[in-house]
């Protein structure tokens, strides 16, 4: 049978198969600082002297504001850990993990597991790149397989070529418009068709990056002559190999997109799938424009922005911030003179890091309209609750920055002619290789780096108060917000747990602690968005025993299981009948986990039995019974 590209890479990496899951070998891992400290504390707890992957890289890109000692201490800890355990360390300032990984480490056909939900950016270079919680990445560094539910493979056929001023971001916004933020759950999105060749690797990476917003397991492009051209420019042509689906390969679903018909698009507040044509927003005043993030900060994106800004000034009512994705991009902009054009226009140059994408600075004014080339516009993520964030391409963003209002960039006239260099500046001096023998490396731990909380084995029966009743598409930003105030506490669960659900109810943590044992009730796609396992660890710390939801996002569901929180599926009628404040009892937990999937859940307030089930693979059931993945690993390695 002719195979899809996904199947080919999976087949080369599957080490275990069950009815519902594949266990795959992980070739490369990446972590970033905000999830990395926990991941490495967990790696230390597993107790392996050296990573077992082909390559592991630790990036510092999220927490770079350093408003106190906490982040600098984390950076030091991460550098020591990397040195000791055989991990490359990308220093703060070197760039955003996904951009740098693409430039310096990505290899077609390899598997990559990253403790960040946008790890699928690597799909742009033909990798099977998957986001996961830090503990799963720690386990992969220890040489254990990573398990994914058997995916459906969706073929997205790209036809024709994009028109000027329409770019890769518009393609993924179109996919989001059609499939929505839950349309990709359980699926791998594979791009095919003649239109693929018209897209360079960074453009493909914009698309696979934002596949995370579909809830997809990952997204992937073939490896072809454009991939070779990119790797050659990075001085890494030797790592290239051609890869594509075989002729006649069958997809579970097919989506066709005629690139020639796409127009500039924008995702409206507060969801990446609320996509409309930019022309429908024409004339709407814009207060802030931010260009950067792991979605749109490549050299091509910023060369285009510089060419449009050349000789012009940013509108006086707009604050334009630009964060190049990597030191390489920034250096290239400087070398080609494009940076001068950007500075002269009045733009504010930001560090090569995540920055405002995760609310680390640049929060906009009250009620602002902010146009961003980023991938998420969840309410409050910018740091300003009342802000309205729109997601768009760099072309749309720069047009808005000049005009002070929404304008379709096609109105700007001729598209600038861009001369992309054949070779990039290659200087890996900000990437520290590990010590050949790490046994004597000492690890410094600042006072904010606390051991992670532990949990005992799963109980047979649980009584819990319904602490919150929520709707659809609750994000991990809702559960465990980030931003300049909270992000520095990522290494200290006790401190960060005070902020769980703080954007929804200010005293959630106190309530949860007072209740001693609690649960959350939610509707569809609970836990969409990031990979942050803090959205599971901190609730666990607060005594949350179960989440009852109609459906779950993949990474968050795995994180709940890894930290011993029951992901219970509740049906519509029971969801409707259960209210906040009621007490429930969950019985039959162990037999329920052992196979039947039936839990006995009843409201102790009304006496009503609720229609609940728990669908788990045998491996997941064993992890939950142990009270989480670390307990499970310790059990099996005894
Ligand atoms: C995000 O974009 O939300 C983050 C911050 O990169 C997260 C990781 C984290 O919370 O540290 C993600 O996407 O996984
Ligand atoms: Fe960083 Fe934003 Fe990308 Fe997350 S989405 S990795 S915060 S740039």
Q: What is the pTM of this model?
A: 0.98
Residue 219 to residue 124: CA distance in whole angstroms: 8
Confidence of residue 562 (pLDDT cuts 50, 70, 90): very high
Reported as type and span, the H/E element at residue 394 is helix 394-403
Ligand nearest to the CA of 114: 1
Which ligand 1 atom sits closest to the C-alpha of 116? 14
3-class SS shares of the chain: helix, strand, coil, % to 5: 35, 20, 45
Is 536 found in the same domain as 618? Answer: yes
CATH number of the domain at 124, please: 3.30.499.10
pLDDT in tens, 441-493: 999 999 999 988 999 999 999 999 999 999 999 999 999 999 999 999 999 99
Residue 489 to residue 496: CA distance in whole angstroms: 5
Which ligand 2 atom sits closest to the C-alpha of 482? 7
In the sheet where 566-570 sits, what is the strand order? 609-610, 600-603, 583-587, 462-469, 518-522, 544-549, 566-570, 612-613
Q: Where are the alpha helices (DSSP H) in 86-214?
A: 97-104, 134-141, 168-179, 201-209
Is 345 found in the same domain as 223? Answer: no
Which ligand 2 atom sits closest to the C-alpha of 293? 8
Q: What distance in angstroms lies between residue 361's CA and the mean position of ligand 2's atoms?
A: 14
CATH number of the domain at 500, please: 3.20.19.10
Residue 85 to residue 48: CA distance in whole angstroms: 8
Is 319 found in the same domain as 248? Answer: no
* CB 381 near ligand 2, within 6 Å: no
Ligand nearest to the CA of 360: 2
Which ligand 1 atom sits closest to the C-alpha of 531? 14
Which pLDDT belongs to residue 338?
A: 98
Is 474 found in the same domain as 350? Answer: no
Q: What distance in angstroms lies between residue 531's CA and the mean position of ligand 1's atoms?
A: 6
Whether the CB-CB separation of 187 and 288 falls below 8 Å is answered with no
Q: 364, 390, 409: which is the final residue of a domain? A: 409
Ligand 1 pocket residues where CB is under 6 Å: 34-35, 62, 116-118, 131, 358, 482, 529-532
Phi, psi of 601 (to 5 degrees): -120, 125
Q: What distance in angstroms lies between residue 632's CA and the mean position of ligand 2's atoms?
A: 31
Q: What distance in angstroms lies between residue 532's CA and the mean position of ligand 1's atoms?
A: 6
Q: Above 90 in pLDDT, residue 82?
A: yes
Ligand nearest to the CA of 37: 1
Q: What percent of the chain has pLDDT over 90?
A: 97
Assigned domain for 228 exists = yes
- Secondary structure (3-state) at 290: strand
Which residues have a Cβ under 8 Å from the Cβ of 308 and sit 6 or more positions away?
395, 398, 399, 402, 412, 416
The residue whose C-alpha atom lies closest to atom 1 belonging to ligand 1 is 530
Is 613 found in the same domain as 478? Answer: yes
DSSP code of residue 596: I
Ligand nearest to the CA of 480: 1
Which pLDDT belongs to residue 592?
A: 87
Assigned domain for 197 exists = yes
Which ligand 2 atom sits closest to the C-alpha of 292? 8
Assigned domain for 303 exists = yes
Q: Which residue among 118, 301, 355, 490 is best mutated to probe the pocket of ligand 2, counting the most ligand atoms within 8 A of its Cβ?
A: 118
Q: What distance in angstroms lies between residue 172's CA and the mean position of ligand 1's atoms?
A: 19
Q: 375, 409, 443: which is the final residue of a domain? A: 409
Which pLDDT belongs to residue 596?
A: 67
Assigned domain for 553 exists = yes
The residue whose C-alpha atom lies closest to atom 5 belonging to ligand 1 is 358
Assigned domain for 446 exists = no
Q: 388, 409, 430: which is the final residue of a domain? A: 409
Q: What distance in angstroms lies between residue 354's CA and the mean position of ligand 2's atoms?
A: 5
Is 490 found in the same domain as 360? Answer: no
| Token duo for residue 506 | 């200010």
* CB 291 near ligand 2, within 6 Å: no
Is 504 found in the same domain as 405? Answer: no
Is 503 found in the same domain as 534? Answer: yes
The residue whose C-alpha atom lies closest to atom 6 belonging to ligand 1 is 116
Is 298 found in the same domain as 387? Answer: yes
Q: Above 70 in pLDDT, residue 120?
A: yes
Ligand nearest to the CA of 353: 2
- Secondary structure (3-state) at 470: coil
Assigned domain for 75 exists = yes
Q: Above 90 in pLDDT, residue 595?
A: no
* CB 96 near ligand 2, within 6 Å: yes
* Domain, as residue range, for 590: 462-632
Q: What distance in angstroms lies between residue 357's CA and the mean position of ligand 2's atoms?
A: 6
Q: Above 80 in pLDDT, residue 66?
A: yes
Is 467 found in the same domain as 595? Answer: yes
- The total of structural domains in the chain comes to 3
Which residues have a Cβ under 8 Å from the Cβ of 110 and sit 6 or more positions away?
27, 28, 54, 127, 128
Give the mean model confidence (pLDDT) for residues 66-92.
97
Q: What distance in angstroms lies between residue 534's CA and the mean position of ligand 1's atoms?
A: 11
Q: Above 90 in pLDDT, residue 127?
A: yes
Is 576 found in the same domain as 466? Answer: yes
pLDDT in tens, 241-282: 999 999 999 999 999 999 999 999 999 999 999 999 999 999
* CB 30 near ligand 2, within 6 Å: no
The mean pLDDT value of the chain amounts to 97
* CB 375 near ligand 2, within 6 Å: yes
Assigned domain for 528 exists = yes
Is 78 found in the same domain as 45? Answer: yes
Separation in Å, CA 234 to CA 38, 230, 490: 32, 6, 34
Cis before residue 129, ω within 30 degrees of 0? no
Q: What distance in angstroms lies between residue 214's CA and the mean position of ligand 2's atoms?
A: 16
* CB 35 near ligand 2, within 6 Å: no
Q: What distance in angstroms lies between residue 301's CA and the mean position of ligand 1's atoms?
A: 22
Give the mean model confidence (pLDDT) for residues 357-373.
98
Assigned domain for 103 exists = yes
The residue whose C-alpha atom lies closest to atom 1 belonging to ligand 2 is 354
């Amino acid at each position: 049978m002719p195979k899809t590209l996904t199947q080919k890479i999976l087949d080369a990496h599957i080490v275990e198969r069950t009815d519902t899951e594949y266990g795959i070998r992980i070739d490369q891992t990446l972590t970033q600082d905000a999830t990395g400290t926990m991941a490495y504390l967990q790696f230390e707890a597993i107790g392996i002297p050296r990573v077992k992957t082909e390559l592991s890289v630790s990036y510092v890109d999220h927490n770079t504001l350093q408003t106190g000692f906490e982040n600098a201490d984390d950076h030091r800890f991460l550098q020591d850990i990397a040195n000791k355990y055989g991990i490359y360390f990308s220093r703060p300032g070197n760039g955003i993990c996904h951009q740098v990984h693409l430039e310096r480490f990505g290899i077609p056909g390899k598997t990559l597991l990253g403790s960040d939900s946008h790890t699928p950016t690597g799909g742009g270079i033909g990798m099977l790149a998957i986001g996961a919680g830090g503990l799963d990445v720690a386990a992969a560094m220890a040489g254990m397989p990573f398990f994914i539910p058997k995916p459906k493979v969706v073929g997205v056929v790209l036809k024709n070529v994009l028109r000027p001023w329409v770019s890769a971001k518009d393609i993924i916004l179109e996919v989001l418009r059609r499939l929505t933020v839950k349309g990709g759950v359980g699926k791998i999105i594979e791009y095919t068709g003649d239109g693929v060749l018209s897209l360079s690797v960074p453009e493909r990476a914009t698309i696979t990056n934002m596949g995370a917003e579909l809830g997809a397991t990952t997204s992937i492009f073939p490896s072809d002559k454009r991939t070779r051209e990119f790797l050659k420019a990075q001085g890494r042509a030797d790592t290239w190999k051609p890869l594509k689906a075989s002729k006649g390969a069958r997809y579970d679903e097919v989506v066709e997109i005629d690139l020639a018909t796409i127009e500039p698009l924008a995702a409206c507040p507060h969801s990446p799938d609320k996509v409309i044509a930019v022309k429908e927003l024409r004339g709407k005043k814009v207060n802030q424009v931010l260009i950067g993030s792991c979605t749109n900060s490549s050299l091509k994106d910023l060369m285009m922005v510089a060419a449009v800004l050349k000789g012009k000034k940013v509108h006086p009512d707009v604050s334009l911030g630009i964060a190049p994705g990597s030191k390489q991009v920034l250096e290239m902009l400087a070398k080609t003179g494009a940076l001068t054009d950007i500075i002269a226009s009045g733009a504010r140059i930001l560090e090569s890091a995540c920055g405002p994408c995760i609310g680390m600075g640049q929060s906009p004014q009250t009620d602002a309209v902010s146009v961003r080339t980023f991938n998420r516009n969840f309410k409050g993520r910018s740091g300003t609750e009342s802000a309205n964030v729109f997601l768009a391409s760099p072309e749309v963003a720069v047009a808005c920055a000049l005009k002070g209002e929404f304008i379709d960039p096609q109105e700007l006239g001729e598209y600038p002619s861009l001369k992309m260099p054949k070779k990039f500046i290659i200087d890996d001096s900000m990437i520290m290789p590990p010590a050949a023998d790490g046994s004597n490396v000492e690890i410094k731990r600042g006072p904010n780096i606390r051991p992670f909380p532990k949990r005992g084995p799963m109980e047979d029966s649980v009584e819990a108060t319904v602490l919150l009743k929520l709707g659809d598409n609750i994000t991990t930003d809702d559960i465990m917000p980030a931003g300049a105030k909270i992000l520095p506490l990522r290494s200290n669960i006790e401190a960060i747990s005070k902020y769980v659900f703080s954007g929804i109810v200010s005293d959630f943590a106190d309530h949860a602690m007072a209740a001693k044992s609690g649960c959350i009730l939610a509707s569809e796609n609970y836990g969409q968005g990031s990979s942050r396992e803090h959205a599971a660890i901190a609730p666990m710390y607060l005594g949350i025993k179960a989440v009852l939801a109609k459906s779950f996002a993949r990474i968050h569901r795995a994180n709940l299981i890894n930290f011993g929180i029951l992901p219970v599926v509740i049906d519509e009628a029971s969801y409707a009948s259960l209210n906040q404040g009621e007490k429930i009892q969950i019985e039959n937990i162990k037999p329920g986990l052992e196979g039947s999937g039936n839990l006995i859940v009843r409201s102790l307030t009304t006496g009503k039995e609720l229609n609940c089930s728990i669908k788990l693979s045998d491996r997941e059931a064993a992890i939950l019974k142990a009270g989480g993945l670390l307990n499970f690993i310790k059990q099996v390695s005894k």
